Amino acid sequence: MDIILALITALLIITGAVFTFAAAVGLNRLPDLYARMHAASKAGTVGSALMLIAVGIHAADLAILARSFAGFLFFVLTAPVSAHLLAKAAHESGYPLSDISVQDEMRRRQEQV
């Protein structure tokens, strides 16, 4: 039983670390800030959230598991909101998309207004 628990914890830790690493690499490789937001808000969030759950499972205590799940939910729910707000703020204050972008229908709307 202990072994299984440890294996699950180890799996969660490693997956989370790899996701976080992928997010950090994406932050450096992707062309513009909107694309970077994808990496940070998805892979990064999942990485940290998985590690929080790993703590709960490792402790094998319902109270701690509940708390780590609460942290997980909180983090997963707030990350998209902050990414969304940041993208909106950046777009409204005029940071352009990178040159390789295909289209920008939002820009078109702003020009009409």
Partner 1 sequence: MTAQAITQSAVHFGLVVLSVAFLLTVWRVIRGPTLPDRVIALDMLVGIVMGFIALIAIRTGYTLYIDIAISLGLVGFLATVALARFILSRKRREGEDGSPPEPLPERPDATVEQPATPESIPVASEAPEPVPAGTATPVAAPAATARPSPSKSEVTKASAAKVKIAKAKARGKAAGADQTASASAAAAAPAKPKPPRKPAAKPAAKPAAKKETP
Partner 2 sequence: MTTYVFNVIFAVIWVAITGSATLLNLVFGFFLASLALWIVRGEMGGPGYWRRVNRIISLVLLFLKELARSAFRVAVLVLSPRLVVKPGIFAFPLTVERDFEITLLANLITLTPGTLSVDVSEDCKTLYVHALDCSDPEAARRDIAEGFERKILEAFR
Tokens 């997956």 — which residue? 15
The distance of Cα 9 from the centroid of its chain, to the nearest Å, equals 20
Closest CA to 26 of 10, 14, 44: 44
Site map (CB under 8 A) of partner 2, residues 84-103, x = contact: x--xx--xx----xx-xxxx
Q: Mark 68-94 as b/e (b = at least 16 C-beta within 10 Å).
A: beebbeeeeeebeeebeeebeeebeee
Q: Which is nearer to partner 2, 55 or 97 (CB)?
A: 97
Q: Cβ atoms within 10 A of the Cβ of 21, count?
A: 13
* Nearest-5° Cα angle at 53, 64 to 13: 130
Residue 25: CB minimum distance to partner 1, A: 6
Interface residue list for partner 2 (CB under 8 A) = 18-19, 22-23, 25-26, 29-32, 34-35, 37-39, 41-43, 45-47, 62-63, 65-67, 69, 76-77, 80-81, 83-84, 87-88, 91-92, 97-98, 100-107, 109
Interface residue list for partner 1 (CB under 8 A) = 2-3, 5-7, 9-11, 13-14, 16-18, 20-21, 23-25, 27-28, 33, 36-37, 40, 44-45, 47-48, 51-52, 54-56, 58-59, 61, 64, 67-68, 70-71, 74-75, 78-79, 81-83, 85-86, 88-90, 92-95
